[in-house]
Amino acid sequence: MKNYLNKQSMSLQQGAIRAMFDKAAGMSDIINLGIGEPDMTTPSVIIEAGMKALLDGYTHYTPNAGILELREAVAENLIGQGLKYDPRTEIMITTGGMGGLVMSLMVILEPGDEVLIQDPQWLNYFAQVKFFGGVPVPVPVKEGNGFAITAEAIEARITNKTKVLMLNSPNNPTGAVLDLEELKRISEVAKRHDLIVLSDEVYSTIVYDDTKHLSIATLEGMRERTVVINSFSKSYAMTGWRIGYAAANQKIIDKMTRLQENVVACVNSGAQYAAIEALKRPDLALEMTELYRKRRNLAVEGLQSIEGISCLKPKGSFYVFAGILGIGMDEVTFANELLAQQHVVVIPGSAFGEHGKGYVRICYANSEENLSRAIERVQRYVANKL
Ligand code: PLP
């Protein structure tokens, strides 16, 4: 029998996050700081709204772009962020943030187009771009600069094939949040080189202290060249509902909607009604962020107290990107041994790109009790090494 799989599928491999999961499967007393998802369940008012819609008979296909009431609620929410989009033509509901990322890449990329992606970055970007024929071009970020991607580093990697810049602020895996000044400089580069920006803002509600989330699409001349991608997964603990949205100019949203029509038809109907309720309750997202803030402080203080480990205090998202070179070992050995000996899952930084070497990603969207226990275990592990 011949091999029926196409060439692109050969690039599909299991990512390092899921691979760590598999390694942990079957082990007892595991503390999993590996996967990037809220530990809490979706707030009950949101669940009830989804259930009610289903019981009321909203069990059918919806418009391909999503139900208008939800798109209108998204448009309202975006106005609050300084972004004005027409809910009828410039907003679509997607299968999580991933749906927005994938659909936009599919309608934008031609084979060989270069896509600038920060390194380290959530690993799915690299796989998605490759699968759709693009060429990921890593843009290193440095701890000394708070892991923020810079306009200078972006511009240095632009060639005549560069088409897309993927931005992710607040960031996974580093927790960096881009400030207005850097965003302005980046927007000038995007305009100068005629780039389209995919702005992945799925952690937009998870920012701490006096840090503000700002979309690059709010800056002069950027709205037309930006696809804003957002999701309910992280902000409302709704990862399993698979719902998010994309906002962009009509031309792009129209093609993404036609693609959705042909691929999945629409997003799950009950999830769309639940999302309307979520948008009515920004207080719920804020409450969760307050919880993450406490957990961030606990994780950062605990990690900083361990000899050989260093980490910045992240400004957003729910990850710490901790340096482990001071222990005198590489990040893969660290993550594997920590799992085998102490039953704590963390992800080697190199899973997020070459420049993640020497770091591990720790997700602190977990209970304070688990975080404290995990820190004790890391302490024990490191003490045996030094
Ligand atoms: N973008 C980033 C940066 C993420 O970290 C994730 C999930 O980890 C996603 C997108 C996907 O989110 P969703 O569950 O909404 O598809």
Q: What is the pLDDT of residues 209-251, one digit of tens each?
A: 999 999 999 999 999 999 999 999 999 999 999 999 999 999 9
Look at residue 51 and tell me whether its pLDDT is greater than 80: yes
The closest residue, in CA terms, to atom 12 on ligand 1 is 97
- Judged by average pLDDT, the poorest of 24-33, 36-45, 198-207 is 24-33
pLDDT digits 0-9 by tens, 135-169:
999 999 999 999 999 999 999 999 999 999 999 99
Look at residue 24 and tell me whether its pLDDT is greater than 90: no
Element (H, E) at 105: helix 96-108
Class of residue 92 by CB neighbours under 10 A (exposed 0-12, middle 13-18, buried 19+): buried
The closest residue, in CA terms, to atom 8 on ligand 1 is 36
Token pair recorded at residue 112: 């060989």
Residues with CB under 6 A from ligand 1: 36, 96-98, 122, 168, 172, 200, 202, 231, 233, 239, 244
Q: If we measure between CA atoms, which residue out of 235, 244, 197, 193 comes closest to residue 218?
A: 197
Q: What is the pLDDT of residue 21?
A: 82
Q: If we measure between CA atoms, which residue out of 229, 221, 272 comes closest to residue 252?
A: 229
The closest residue, in CA terms, to atom 5 on ligand 1 is 172
pLDDT digits 0-9 by tens, 171-217:
999 999 999 999 999 999 999 999 999 999 999 999 999 999 999 99
Q: What is the pLDDT of residue 119?
A: 98
Whole-number percent of the chain with pLDDT over 90: 93
pLDDT digits 0-9 by tens, 258-292:
999 999 999 999 999 999 999 999 999 999 999 99
Apex CA 140: angle with CA 138 and CA 141, to 5°? 140
DSSP assignment of 216-243 equals: GGGSTTTGGGEEEEEESTTTTT-GGG--
Q: Which residues are CB-neighbours of 33 under 8 A, at least 6 positions away?
A: 344, 345, 346, 362, 363, 364, 366, 371, 374
Token pair recorded at residue 365: 């969207």
Q: Return the residue matching tokens 């969207």.
A: 365
Look at residue 10 and tell me whether its pLDDT is greater than 90: no
